[in-house]
Structure 1
Amino acid sequence: MAKNAHHPDLEAANYAEPAPARPVWSQAIANPAPLGLLAFGMTTFFLMSVDTLWSGKVFVGAVMGYAYAYGGFAQMVAGVLELLKGNTFAGTAFFSYGSFWIAWAFINTMTRLHGPVGFTIDNGFRVGQCIMLATWGCFTFAFFVPTLRKNGCLMFVFGSLSLTFWLLAAGIWNPKINQGAGYVGVICGLSAIYTAFAEIYDESLGIRLPGLAPVRFI
């Protein structure tokens, strides 16, 4: 073969457009995942303590404040930062669940109002609640699938959250199932808090807690 012969694939590679470099400023953003996980986990734990009957129904009013500020706004901020860092999975998840908490707080605010501006809780409203919660369970399960290539902690968080949503949907019609959903939700919230501190300890102290090692099941 002549020395000056060129392989067509090599020539194409020489003229191919280089992959766009990630902006330098995105590399300067700290890891926002612990913030998002803590915002989600702690707010979930507070609300599920009501469904388990550990705290009274009146405590829902206090949880609404957390849902607006921490579970909602703070988690959405974490989502935006993840998107700026180029992390589609975490960014979409945090922004979506942050929006969920704000929507949940708004719905509960409206159900507490009287008159034409408030929501009336009737059988049709409960059917809608059931559909909404079941849909969020399916939405969460779709997020669970990518975690099969991430780590055990995230697998547990999204797996238990899917189950929590489905139990809450069934619990609209059965108080015992709703209480069971509360216990699963408590475990889910605590697992998110654990995952957040596992990431903080790994990054700040170099301590790798169980469940954070990468996995690949699919």
Structure 2
Amino acid sequence: KPANPLPMGLAAFAGTAFVLSCSNANCLDLSIPNIAAPMSYFFGGFVLGLAGLLAFFQGDTYTSSVFVPFAAFWMSWAAINTESFGVLSAYSNDSEQLGNALGFYLLSWAILCLFLWICTFKGRVDFFLLIGMVFLLFLVLSIANFTGSANVTKAGGVIGIIVAAMAWYIMYTELATTDNSYINI
């Protein structure tokens, strides 16, 4: 029987979201998000994408339709924040245009999450809550970029930390069994 890729994908999503969200929330005065770029390529991008492909080959259309696009999000976010791609430097003379470009970028992900969220209405409550919060996260960060508001960015960071905690919780519930853990939920 093949392994369930859900815990691996949730771990990759949660860990990467947590690191970036700590930067967005300005935790411990962390305001430079570059530490999240390598994690986004390898954990959020590669591992989450691998989990999505495994789900695809197991016939789990919904999980693969969540994990593979989110892997693409993490890799594209990392590319935006990698100097050699030149995305941020292309906007170096116009911060308002950069904010608008990032706002539309994040809004496109919010729209995807809205459709993914609608597909959870008749499913598991934990996924309904998680994907709903991810939709809210992308929407808030989109607004933060359109407005340039540091406070809205911080709010997005706090939402992202909550999202990461929710994803870790679901990961644990999928992974912990009476065979491997004394604590089962």
TM-score (norm 1): 0.76
8 Å CA contact 1:51–1:178 kept in 2: the answer is yes
Q: 1:108 aligns with which of 76, 81, 85?
A: 81
- Which residue number corresponds to residue 44 of structure 1? 17
Aligned pairs, how many? 179
Identical amino acids, percent of aligned pairs: 24
- Which residue number corresponds to residue 119 of structure 1? 90
> SS in structure 2 opposite 1:144?
helix
Between stretches 200-209 and 189-198, larger displacement belongs to 200-209
TM-score (norm 2): 0.88
> SS in structure 1 opposite 2:81?
helix
Aligned-partner Cα distance in 1 for 2:107–2:88? 26
Q: Given the alignment of the two structures, is residue 190 of structure 1 paired with residue 161 of structure 2, yes or no? A: no
Aligned AA (2:112): F
Q: Given the alignment of the two structures, is residue 66 of structure 1 paired with residue 39 of structure 2, yes or no? A: yes
Aligned AA (1:35): M
Aligned AA (2:91): T
- Which residue number corresponds to residue 180 of structure 1? 155
Q: Given the alignment of the two structures, is residue 34 of structure 1 paired with residue 7 of structure 2, yes or no? A: yes
Q: CA 1:203/1:128 → structure 2, altered by over 3 Å: closer, same or farther?
A: farther
8 Å CA contact 1:111–1:120 kept in 2: the answer is no
- Which residue number corresponds to residue 57 of structure 1? 31
8 Å CA contact 1:110–1:119 kept in 2: the answer is no
- Which structure's residues are more often helix, by fraction? 2
8 Å CA contact 1:29–1:81 kept in 2: the answer is no
Shift of 1:89: 0.5
Shift of 1:135: 1.8
8 Å CA contact 1:42–1:190 kept in 2: the answer is no
Q: CA 1:138/1:35 → structure 2, altered by over 3 Å: closer, same or farther?
A: same
Deviations 1:21-78 (A, max 9, x none): xxxxxxx3210000001100110011000111104123x2221110000011000000
